[in-house]
Amino acid sequence: MGRILVTFFLCCSAVGLSASPRLRVRFGGQSSRVAAQTPSTPGHEHPSVSLDGSRIAFVSGGDIYVIHADGTGEAQLTRTPEAEASPAWTRGGKITYSVFADNASRLFIADADGRNARVLATVPGRAPVLSPDETRVIYWTGSWTSTRLLVATLDGSAVRQVTDGSSIAWNAQWSPDGRQIAYTGRDAGGVLHVFVMNADGSAPRQLTHIPRAEGEAQVPAWSPDGHQIAFQVTPAKGKPGHIWIADAETGVARKVAVHTQPFVDEVPAWFPDGKRLAFQSNRTGRMEIWVINANGAGARQMTR
């Protein structure tokens, strides 16, 4: 199996066990460790594009950074000994990230320059993601092999389990209208694919049907209009890894920036115009943030 890149920090089999001191965790199948095309030094990872398209937040060395969309003005927002989950942007231009400690995650919200950070929600699980209307969070609990996704209001009430915990459910992402959730799951054969369900957990369906020879699909990202989902396909060691884009209804998918070199493009994030993607890639020998057109043209390196 190829590399599985988790978009939050952790490394143990269940909530409540000790975790890694850094954000960057790579597991194969989420339960067995696999060698991969991993950069030799910490790089820049987990991009997230602001909803006005002007800035890209990312993670480096366990802290949150922001850079202008033209690659200038890099600034470090957080300085903390605690590892943090990957950043996300609100419609009001603020930035969110979470910190896991003492068996709970605190979801922070801060200004785009990192100031005025405050705890928005605390949940008894990991990787909370704020809903588009900023009234709910989705997070996960359980073991690597039996993950449960739960939705709760910001005060921790009205908790609803939306997956049954019989398998895995990682990388949960709200649709732009908040009505659906995309996540990484397993098919009947144990292969990773992107799944979509209603926000109440009803009508789950497998979206992707990527040929096994290509790798395994994971880390979904909704397009701004909700009509497409970008995701990464994690290959076997030494094989090229690509970003793919699928129709959110039919699952018909295509590769972005097809290449044969053994580097990986992964963790896509849409620009608000729906015409470009930020992503991370080890094309240069370590993970850096790149931007590319959705048609696969015009790749540009943002961080160095």
Strand partners of residue 97: 108
State the Cα–Cα distance between residues 24 and 250, nearest whole angstrom.
32
State the Cα–Cα distance between residues 159 and 47, nearest whole angstrom.
29
State pLDDT tens for residues 81-140: 676 778 999 999 999 999 999 999 999 999 999 999 999 999 999 999 999 999 999 999
Query: So what's the pLDDT on residue 84?
Result: 76
Tokens of 224: 């701004």
Report the SS3 class of residue 143.
strand
| Residue 29 near residue 18 (C-beta atoms within 8 A) | no
Q: Torsions phi, psi of 127, nearest 5? A: 55, 55
Which amino acid, residue 145?
A: T
State the Cα–Cα distance between residues 119 and 114, nearest whole angstrom.
13
Largest Cα–Cα distance in the chain? 49
State pLDDT tens for residues 206-250: 999 999 999 999 999 999 999 999 999 999 888 999 999 999 999
Tokens of 302: 């943002």
State pLDDT tens for residues 28-46: 222 222 223 333 356 999 9
Domains plus CATH for the chain? 4-301 (2.120.10.30)
